[in-house]
Structure 1
Amino acid sequence: MKVFKRIFILLLLIAIVYGGQYAWRALPILSGYGAKDICSCVFVAGRNPKDVIDNELNSVPLKYGTFTVNYTDSSATGSVFGLAKKKAVFRKGLGCTLIAEMSEEELRQQKMNLSPSKRINTDSIPWPQGDKLQDTINRKIDKAKLQAAIDHAFTETDTVRAKQRRTRAVVVLYDGQLVGEKYATGFDKNSKQIAWSMTKSITNALVGILVKQGKLKLEEPAPAEGWADDRKAVTLADLMHMSSGLKWEENYGGPSGATNMLFKKKDMGIYAAKEPLEFKPGEVFEYSSGTTNIISRIVRDKVGDENYYKFPYQELFNKIGMNSIVMEPDAGGTFVGSSYSFATARDFARFGLLYLNDGVWNGERILPEGWVKFSYTPPIGAKRGQYGAQWWANAGEPNNPTNRPYPDVPTDAYLAEGFEGQSIFIVPSKKLVVVRLGLTKTDFDLNKFISEVIVSLPQ
């Protein structure tokens, strides 16, 4: 009996030690996620803190955290049962940044050469540069079917909150014209919403601009810090295709490379670049937010800090009328190209329209010729034809295109996609761009939604 008691005590001690170690690693991630999220939702998007806590932060395990907003110093803090306190700080023009591996004073003392803020009344400027819409839409569009498709995206069929669609915005463009739009209660055309991983596709555009300027080349070794070993074989194209071969764990259920990077590290791109090779570069597709932040760091290094914080705005956003967008940096000062940007649904639609128009806006070529095709063309590592270069694709298997992610949508479709159901869906053959934003905890049926929209268009 004493032996069994000793074994039980030993196992209990092991469980306590292991649980303590796990909590030590996991709790700061939970606190950091909540602090960063509520900071951005309040100070960037203009939301009410209680609304954010009741919605974004109301699921398990986030509901066990305590998250508070301080309007005096424009910050937000998070903790779990008083432990693992994390703080995010808002800075005008930069959004919110989670403090990591440095003091708050050091973060606040950073000096960035920001792009001047522009106050433009876009209501008097015609779409797409502004928000003045045409009085009529294409007569060949079946308005009833289009409205039914949009309404369906907002219709709840389940009383369980975690299973609901919770769509917040839909914008539909056909042949460049805004033909459909709807918002959930509390949101409108001026509401900034988070992109999450749709930001990866914005990072794609920034790389494209540098390629056009001759500052980056896809087929050359990626100029990442410290890659003098076997990683020197990794090209920029490999990174863009998520086929770098670098070891990575894109897991958000607990401590992982992805969560440690986003919620514990100062320089996210440098952290991710330290990972070793696991596969031969260019052969295996592995989705990685770390890879995108390596790319984001490369963009910063090539542009240089003097112009870096102006670069996305002057070379991209201002040109296409994305006046609402805010890209947020990590504590080291590099834009979190994998995850952190906020904009209105209309501005995300403008971004999609740029790609629908092959990178040309009002006659100006912003992205290099052939860049959009490169962006949606799957590499050999994406066996199902599901990914291009920082954009998801719908090409299907090379010899069996019926096996594709969205079987009821044409194979030329591609999309920017983010956590909780954010998407910019582009279908060139249908002249279509659809933005859908939400807070969906389960999978939103994009295949059905987009196919319903397509049915309403001229055939």
Structure 2
Amino acid sequence: MTRGGIRYLCGAFMGVVFSLPVQGEAIYPDPQWELAPVAASPEVSALLGYSFPQPRGVEREGIRTDGLVVIQRGKLVLERYEAPYDASKPHLTWSVSKSFINALYGVAEERGLVDRSDPLARYYRPLQQEGYARIRVEDALHWASGLDWAETYEASPLTSSVVAMLYTLGRDDMAAWAASHPVRTGPGKRHNYSSGDTNLLSAALRGIVGEQAYREFPWQALFEPLGMKSVSWEQDASGTYVGSSYLYATPRDMARLGYLFLRKGRWQGVQLLSEGWVTFSTTLAPAYGNEPVAVDDDSHPGAHWWVNAGVESQQQPLAWPGAPADTYAAWGHWGQYIFVIPSLDLVVVRTGDDRDRSFDRNRFLSLVVAAFGGQEEVQ
């Protein structure tokens, strides 16, 4: 039955944690997600109440969730949208698109086209100069290229590298503009979150797959195999996909990327990404621990994903203590997320518009775990 746009299925919480299915038993959406709506419960109501407060905030204040999709054991168990969004309307993902760039590199490595240890300059000529040629693919994926970059947004637009890249000085050729930044530290030595690193990767992908194949590569390599029908991706004037920011997709299609990683790179019997790539992507970036880290920092980088693990040598706690330690996420500006929790066989996509930073990731994940962490599958 349906209540207020939310699908429910009669059933009960069993108070036990289910076992993960073996790979051969994995369920994949073909072509749509199989529906297995969750039973109504106080925990589910609490999650929805936090995500969709009523009345919805005015003048962009407070939590403003546009869409919520929960996939468990390969089935769509919870879904809700707020107008003007619905299941068919793509959402701007902002920096979630960075994790799509990661996946494209994973496919390219699986096909033998590139190795993560390759110098990025091999595929992107503007980096073929002293001080830049030692930047490896994996350095850029860890946001550790060493380039002097300021990833600041509304608070300081006049000194922001990313604002200038997207909207003013660098907008015609974003990778070239990123490559014009001076080297600040040696590659791989210091984590510095940078949309410039991502757009360098996007431009280098042209050199990896070839100029003719580049335009269709995201679709041929990823979107079509995963059955993503809603995706569009903007290019700058030079023809490079704006890998840092401008991919649009529905939450259902965003969940497919999370599910690919949840299933260790395998999709419908085909290994699109190696298991090693998934492990590499979701392991804390080595450069992050090379300098003192803040105890309360909840942005722990992997390789173009964000991870829950902290720096053990500095006794840094989990990024999101309310979630299992194996949780990781794709994360975009103003509250766009793909959360993956392997120990719960769970993918959660949340889109929104939280410009006042009222959305609390840890609280949200705590509510997700309360609602979905102890369910037995309804037969």
TM-score interval (norm. to shorter) = 0.7 to 0.9
Contact 1:395 1:401 in 2 (8 A): no
Please list every run of 5 or more consecutive structure 1 residues that lacks an aligned counterpart in the other structure: 1-125
Alignment partner, residue 73 of structure 2? 175
Q: Which moved more, 1:343-352 or 1:252-261?
A: 252-261
Q: CA deviation at 1:458?
A: 4.5
Kindly provide the CA deviation profile for residues 85-138 of structure 1, in whole angstroms up to 9, marking residues without a partner as x: xxxxxxxxxxxxxxxxxxxxxxxxxxxxxxxxxxxxxxxxx962323633x457
Partner of 2:129: 228
The yes-or-no answer on 1:198 pairing with 2:96 is: yes
Structure 2 CA distance for partners of 1:127 and 1:302, relative to 1, 3 Å: closer
The AA in structure 2 aligned to 1:251 is T
2:311 is aligned with 1:397: yes
Task: Give, in whole Å, the separation in 2 of the partners of 1:401 and 1:374.
Answer: 22
Tell me the residue number matched to 1:314: 220
Say how many residue pairs are matched: 331
State whether residues 57 and 63 of structure 2, in contact with CA within 8 Å, keep that contact through their aligned partners in structure 1. no
RMSD over aligned Cα, in angstroms?
A: 2.0
1:450 counterpart = 2:365: yes
**3-state SS of 1:173 partner:** strand
Query: Contact 1:175–1:432 (CA<8 Å) still a contact in 2?
Result: yes
Please report how far the alpha carbon of residue 159 of structure 1 lies from its aligned counterpart in structure 2 after TM superposition: 5.4
**How is 1:395-434 mapped onto 2 (pairs within 5 angstroms)?**
395-399=309-313, 403-434=317-348
Measure the CA separation in 1 of the matches of 2:33 and 2:151: 41
- Closer/same/farther in 2, CA of residues 173 and 209 from structure 1, 3 Å limit: same
In structure 2, the partner of 1:262 is 166
Following superposition, which runs of at least 4 residues in structure 1 exceed 3 angstroms of deviation? 141-144, 156-162, 399-402
Structure with bigger helix share is 1
Pair 1:251-2:149 in alignment: no
SS at match of 2:348: strand
Larger mean Cα displacement after TM superposition, 302-311 or 174-183: 302-311
Which of 325, 344, 350 does residue 436 from structure 1 map onto? 350
The answer (yes or no) to whether the contact 1:322–1:351 under 8 Å persists in 2 is no
Match of 1:188 among 86, 93, 102: 86
Query: Contact 1:268–1:293 (CA<8 Å) still a contact in 2?
Result: yes
SS at match of 2:133: helix
Secondary structure of residue in 2 paired with 1:425: strand
Is 1:218 the counterpart of 2:116? The answer is yes
Q: TM-score, normalised by structure 2?
A: 0.82
Bigger-Rg structure (1/2):
1
Give unpaired runs (5+ residues) of structure 2: 1-26, 294-298, 375-379
Q: Is the 8 A contact 1:195 1:342 kept in 2?
A: yes
Identity %: 37
- Contact 1:150–1:453 (8 Å) recurs in 2: no
Letter in 2 for 1:245: G
Q: Hey, what's the Cα distance between the residues in 2 that align with 1:303 and 1:150? A: 43
Alignment of 1:83-232 (within 5 A): 128-131=29-32, 133-134=34-35, 136-137=36-37, 143-156=41-54, 161-223=59-121, 224-226=124-126, 227-232=128-133
For residues 9-20 of structure 1, what are the structure 2 equivalents within 5 Å? none
Partner of 2:15 in structure 1?
none
How far off is 1:402 after superposition? 5.9
| C-alpha distance 431-132 of structure 1, shift in aligned 2 (>3 A) | closer
Identify the structure with bigger relative contact order (alpha carbons < 8 Å, sequence gap 6+). Answer: 2
Deviations 1:138-196 (A, max 9, x none): 7xx77442243123201158856343111100001112111001000221100111000
**Residue type of the partner of 1:453?**
V
One-letter identity of the residue aligned with 2:300: Q
CA distance in 2 between partners of 1:400 and 1:454 (Å): 27
Q: Tell me by how many angstroms 1:380 deviates.
A: 2.2
